[in-house]
Structure 1
Amino acid sequence: MAQVRYLVRDVDRSIRFFVDLLGFELRQQFGPAMAILARDDLTLWVAGPQASAARPMPDGRQPEPGGWNRFVLTVEDIEATVARLREAGAVFRNEIITGPGGRQVLVEDPSGNPIELFQPA
């Protein structure tokens, strides 16, 4: 089982986004600091500002949400998924694009972390 950690600004808001909009299940929550979510064989740890993962590095760099690294969620109907997310107010970094393997789009979680939605060809 793959585990991914995302730094988030608000754990409760992130739980609602991943559970209500992307079909994850809440497995465990540690107050406002962290939660463990799961979907299929992916376990997602969302770590808020109070989590140990958000502490400054020895060189002073501060971990923060965002960036371009992401996990990929395979969806059956990308058009319907995007429509449902847009209706809920989700932010997209691009429009659906088509490549040799299928169609994809990047949606952001409430903290700006990207998730790639992918529909195989």
Structure 2
Amino acid sequence: MNDTVLDPRVRIGHVHLKVSDLERSIRFYRDVLGFQVMQRFGDAAAFLSAGGYHHHIGLNTWESLGGSPPPPGRTGLYHTAILFPDRPELGKVLRRVLEAGIPLDGAADHGVSEAIYLRDPDQNGVELYRDRPQDEWPRQPDGGLAMFTRPLDLQKLLSEAAT
């Protein structure tokens, strides 16, 4: 293997977000998206996960208590992408997002994945998605990826939601 190519087992482990209101952010990530609070540091930080992992999402107000989102046109995090294991689980979280009255920024079928886009309470971009199996990914004749962006049928996704 080329020394400049990462080992395929490498993963991005977690995201740590500066938020303006810790309780509001916990309600979003816990009550809407379904993460569990694993640990809190008073009213300044919380660590949340899926499945008992130490944390997938860190939230803190150390430098941002009462702050405002960065203005458009600035560099920074575009979105955090949260991978779901299958369509029923993605449909289940979509149902909770819609029931909470959270507007969607969009939804797309990219061929390799199906994604729902929204914003957290601090206007951080959030992508909720599921990958298709690699053998179903669209390919070009030379074997390269042929990703695309097409509308995602949200009603069909909701009908497949796990109960």
Gaps of 5+ in 2: 1-11, 71-75, 133-163
Aligned length: 111
Shift of residue 5 of structure 1?
0.4
**What is residue 127 of structure 2 aligned with on the other side?**
116
Distance 1:106 1:20 in 2: 18
Q: Deviations over 1:57-91 (max 9, x none)?
A: xxxxx995684132323253334432321110223
CA contact (8 A) 1:73 1:115 kept: no
- Cα RMSD of the aligned pairs, angstroms, is 2.7
Shift of residue 119 of structure 1?
2.3
Secondary structure in 2 aligned to 1:93? Answer: strand
Distance 1:111 1:11 in 2: 10
**What is residue 8 of structure 2 aligned with on the other side?**
none
**Which structure 2 residues correspond to residues 1-121 of structure 1 after superposition, within 5 A?**
2-40=13-51, 41=53, 42-48=55-61, 51=62, 53-54=63-64, 64=69, 67-74=77-84, 76=86, 77=88, 78-94=90-106, 96-121=107-132
The one-letter code of the counterpart of 2:20 is: R
Greater relative contact order structure (CA < 8 Å, 6+ sep): 1
More strand by share: 1
The one-letter code of the counterpart of 2:59 is: V
Distance 1:43 1:84, change over 3 A: closer
CA contact (8 A) 2:68 2:122 kept: no
Secondary structure in 1 aligned to 2:43? Answer: coil
CA contact (8 A) 2:81 2:129 kept: no
The one-letter code of the counterpart of 1:12 is: E
Moved over 4 A (4+): 62-67
Identity, in percent, stands at: 27
Secondary structure in 2 aligned to 1:90? Answer: coil
TM-score if structure 1 supplies the norm length?
0.73
TM-score if structure 2 supplies the norm length?
0.57
